[in-house]
Structure 1
Amino acid sequence: MAAIEQKSSFAIPKLAQDLIAGTIGGWAQVVVGHPFDTLKVRMQTQPSPPIYKNAMDCFNQLVKSEGPKGLYRGVASPLAGIGLCNAVVFMSNGEFRRILQNGSNRELSLAEIGIAGAFAGSVMSFFNCPIELLKVKLQTQDPKGVIGANGKLEPPYKGVLECGVRTVRAHGIQGIYRGLGITLLRDFPSYGLYFVTYEGLKRTFQSMKKNPEEQLSTFDLLMAGGLAGFGAWIPAYPQDVIKSRMQNDPRLKSSLAALRTLIREAGARSLLSGVGPTMARAFPANAATFFAYEMAMDVMNKL
């Protein structure tokens, strides 16, 4: 959105603006996107032979057995964590952009925006990995129990806090960072293309305005944010499947072992397992993320 001149002596620092707006955007993303994410993770981690025919069958079985609230299983972790992660990625992205600007106010090229986004994604991975691990464990656990580190059945987790405590007790602090390597390999290219797609579309929509000073409409922002969600998954989806498998099964010692097991049991096509609900989620969740971010920034710029 067009920059708004500060009219008040009170000005929120840019870093704090990115932090606050990113948090609000993250909350909007969770509220809109978590049901789709639950379906995605269940499709990604189901055993072989599969228990779900497709995403719709997964939806029907989950709602039938647990009701609509089943779609929000494990939501406490991302609601608390995705707000933080989104704050980190938007704050890091803003800071890396300012580093590339080197004290000037020049408009960055899309390549530079991609570089800033990719490095912001790598920073975010260190926060995102444990949050997603707990989310995956809670989303996929069977009401009868969960598989422990020794391969035996243990009681199901009662909530995100107990899940975290039991994971650390069983595996140490490194236990909640299972899958960090593959998370980095996912988030570095993903966030680079994420911000390139968003900023590129905003510039395209702006160039189509008859009046260059005219602000982007709500529709423009929602379209740019939603399509950026698609862009983020293009270079990242197979890594996400491998990460979910590895984080869900403590017997898999590495992402490479998870990949080999996945291909051996379900074939190479399984690397796209759950892509349907992921893409169905991508547009509304990321449209909500960027729109909430922009609105929050707009409010703070008017203070």
Structure 2
Amino acid sequence: MSSHEPEPPSPTTDPDRYAPSSVTRPPRDMASRTNTSNWSSPLARLAIKISQLPDGPVNALCGASAGVASGIVTCPLDVIKTRLQAQGSFRPRQYTGPTRAVYKGLTGTARVIWLEDGIRGLYRGLGPMLLGYIPTWAVYMSTYEATKDYLNPHMENKWLARTLASIAAGGCSTLVTNPIWVVKTRLMSQVSSRAAEEHRPPWHYKNTFDAFRKMYAKEGIGSFYSGLTPALLGLTHVAIQFPLYEFLKMKFTGLEMGQADAKSQDIHWFGIAAATVLSKICATSATYPHEVLRTRLQTQQRSLPTHSHDHISFRGGHQGQGHHTRPPGTASSDGMINMPRYRGILKTCTVILQEEGWRAFYNGMGTNMVRAVPAAVTTMMTFEGLKLVHQKLKIEGTKIREEDL
């Protein structure tokens, strides 16, 4: 960032980020009457308990709830995006026929899935998605807020502090939840038995737990960390999105992420939505190709180490009619090892460029925008709304505790 550009607004230095504005306290008897009229006994007890909770667990709970809400809303679009990203990865290597795209755009892909699998096809992978969103956003939001609160007093550059907090939070959540996202991607890319052979992946899972069991038995623990490198490259996405979101929210509302106006206790929905949309579009446009790389690596089947003398583990290969490659762990007719199609970031980029051209790196980007923006808006509005509820309960609980002293 140029030295002539203004720095984003600094966060408030008030030690209590959610403290109510200073007002003249009414007499004790008046406050008791007001409390009795506005707060039932169970709600008062809940407010007292919430006021005693540290911010970490609250941020984790709000983040997990926000992720689940966005997952339910956008699962069909995520399925469509995954099908578009994975398209072309199941072709036999020696296939010389014309390239035929089955999935074409948002509506075309939705139509194919609906005709082949029905409504269940559009919600395939919802289980691991919800299972993944809970720890992903719980870890991310709690780590982001804790890291940011630690760095802010020690760093003058707030852009850098927010960027480092985003990278740290994204790295922790990615390492914890990558196995769940691999299973989700496998399930979402799984097609109907009526689909053409060349577009059918070399696996079939009945449900989430069946996928975990079969992947561990047939491919080993390493299969759950397929695509980890491009997933970590995805940290550039959150490194752009969240600092930009906070900057824009501060511009639009004067408040940081997770903050609400303590005086009016209103939430600035329009400002939050505008900041979310702009930050998400910028981050997605800049970093989308890594998602295609991650999907290709996650949908490539692995094999366990063979019992051969070299103990090499092979991946890839297709079996069945119409496929000209041999099963994993074997050699071709000329004695060359049957290597996987996608091996690492650079090799995967080269193969995609040679076989499908540069446009393949942006397969499903339009659908991803349609999915990612509503998902981000749902996530951030749910998170900010829950934080507002927490703020109100915390303020009221603090008042009740002080009155009881």
- TM-score past 0.5 threshold: yes
Equivalent pairs, count: 293
Which residue among 266, 290, 296 is the counterpart of 2:386? 296
Which residue among 110, 113, 116 is the counterpart of 1:65? 116
Structure 1 residues 183, 256: CA separation in 2 closer, same or farther (over 3 Å shift)? Answer: same
Which residue among 221, 229, 232 is the counterpart of 1:173? 221
Counterpart-to-counterpart distance in 1, 2:184 and 2:156: 38
Does 2:120 match 1:30?
no
* 8 Å CA contact 1:225, 1:289 repeated in 2: no
Counterpart-to-counterpart distance in 2, 1:79 and 1:279: 20
Question: Mean Cα displacement is larger for which, 57-66 or 36-45?
Answer: 57-66
Does 2:288 match 1:198?
no
Report matched runs for 1:96-175 at 5 Å.
96-102=147-153, 109-144=158-193, 156-175=204-223
Query: How far does residue 11 in structure 1 lie from its aligned partner after superposition?
Result: 2.1
Aligned partner of 1:86 in structure 2 is: 137
Counterpart-to-counterpart distance in 2, 1:181 and 1:243: 8
Counterpart AA for 2:119: P
Aligned partner of 2:290 in structure 1 is: 239
Which residue among 261, 264, 267 is the counterpart of 2:357? 267
Counterpart-to-counterpart distance in 2, 1:67 and 1:257: 36
Counterpart-to-counterpart distance in 1, 2:284 and 2:177: 16
TM-score of the superposition, structure 2-length normalised? 0.66
Q: Calculate the aligned-residue CA RMSD, in Å.
A: 2.9
Higher relative contact order (CA closer than 8 Å, sequence separation 6+): 1
Counterpart-to-counterpart distance in 2, 1:140 and 1:271: 17
**Larger-gyration structure (1/2):** 2
Structure 1 residues 273, 14: CA separation in 2 closer, same or farther (over 3 Å shift)? Answer: same
1:62-82 residue CA offsets vs partner (Å, 9 max, x unmatched): 122222332111110011111
Q: Which runs of 4+ in 1 moved over 6 A?
A: 211-214
Question: Mean Cα displacement is larger for which, 6-15 or 78-87?
Answer: 6-15
The structure carrying a bigger helix percent of its residues is 1
Question: Mean Cα displacement is larger for which, 197-206 or 257-266?
Answer: 257-266
> What SS does structure 2 have at the residue aligned with 1:235?
helix
> What SS does structure 2 have at the residue aligned with 1:234?
helix
Aligned partner of 1:149 in structure 2 is: none
